[in-house]
Amino acid sequence: MEIGAQLYTVRQYMQNLDDFAATLKKVAAMGFKSVQVSLGAVCPFEPEWLRDQLQENGLVCAVTHVKNMDVVENLEQVVKEHAVYGCRNIGIGGMPGPMRNTLEGYEEFCKMYIPVAEKMRDMGVKFQYHNHEFEFNKVYGTSVMERMMEDFPADSVDFTLDVGWADFAGADVLKLIDTLSGRLSRIHLKDHADIPEDGSIEETRAYLRPIYEGKAPYDLYIPALKKAGCEYALIEQDKCYDEDPMDCLERSLRNIQARNIL
């Protein structure tokens, strides 16, 4: 299992091509060999440009997040562009907002995205679904994650399991990893802590931290992920508050390396 960088963490440094290129160099210099690019969070780029930048820095793009409707409306073009920079795992960052937390919304999501996932499978690429915490809410007695595991054909979707959000939601993460074994080729590592009571952090959800600086028991999760066939575990910290995202990303990597459990 390789530890990669979800570049969404450092998206603020990727809003023009020069900064994007500089960020890839910095990430490679930290020791990363793989990255995830979230296309909606960075500046526009030509696929050939990204291919060349990745090659120059010894990086691979293990997975992407694309805008939700791109794979519905422009799938052939999306797959063609990903092929240029060698990425065969194409994901969305979550269920579209209006479809969340109702059975009707979930059914609409399935109607729209199961055919997309099956078509991607037939094209030789993999649809990746990334969770937040809401997928663990019960919708008429069953969580969205449970429904998706049942309703989406196993050969048409992998789960970019966000371990931190699952842990924050109170899910049985070890059981979830075991259940999804073989469908977790690319996942997210995220950590969270209690929101400080002194009011120093303005946060209404999880207080996100570098890996091993929060509450998630990664000494248990990382070996379980390896056993489940995870190939790329991508560090992601959506918010870094008043800290430098580059520093947070590197701290996560160093904290994992210090544990010597890879």
**Structure pTM?**
0.96
For range 38-47, the mean pLDDT: 97
CB-CB contact of 36 with 8 (8 Å): yes
Tell me the β-bridge partners of 234: 4, 188
Dump pLDDT digits (tens) for 58-86: 999 999 999 999 999 999 999 999 999 99
Q: How far apart are CA 257 and CA 44, in angstroms?
A: 33
Strands (E), 88-238: 89-92, 126-130, 138-139, 142-143, 157-160, 186-189, 191-193, 207-209, 232-235
Q: How far apart are CA 10 and CA 20, in angstroms?
A: 10
Q: How far apart are CA 71 and CA 118, in angstroms?
A: 12
> Please, which pLDDT band fits residue 199 given cuts at 50, 70 and 90?
confident
- Asked whether residue 129 carries a pLDDT value surpassing 80, the answer given is yes
- Asked whether residue 140 carries a pLDDT value surpassing 90, the answer given is no
CB-CB contact of 33 with 2 (8 Å): yes
> Please, which pLDDT band fits residue 262 given cuts at 50, 70 and 90?
confident
CB-CB contact of 132 with 165 (8 Å): yes
